[in-house]
Structure 1
Amino acid sequence: MPPVTDGDTLLLHFTSTRPDGEIFEDTRSGEPVRVTLGANQINPLFEEALIGREPGETVTVVLPPEKAYGK
């Protein structure tokens, strides 16, 4: 499969953690989330980190608080 590009629809699982490692959101216990890149459905920095990745690849994205959920 080709790398992920803007406009692709993805099924993905993610785990969101705080800086201390506490998990506050985790989709792995249920169905994957369906998102279309470029449709403003997820954080733009998260989208940017997915572009160019291979399907099935695991990606770690660290977002500064001001670009995520705030402090």
Structure 2
Amino acid sequence: MNFIEFHNHIHKRDFLIVCLNDYKLEGEYHTFIAVQDKQGHGFHAEGKSDNLSQIYKEIIAKIENQ
């Protein structure tokens, strides 16, 4: 899954990305993503930046299981 697919998927469920942060930890790059809907419900996931697809899937799973 790429970023455009992820964005479109969460947008269809009325969620927006409220935080997208890349950082370096112990020599490796990591990404933190948080999403939130208009009612204030939110989810986040983080992991190694070279595995963004897994981060996207974690957030989508949390949205689907709410």
TM-score of the superposed pair, with normalisation by structure 2: 0.29
**Greater fraction strand:** 2
TM-score of the superposed pair, with normalisation by structure 1: 0.27
Select the structure of larger CA radius of gyration: 1
Q: Which has the higher contact order (CA 8 A, sep 6+)?
A: 1
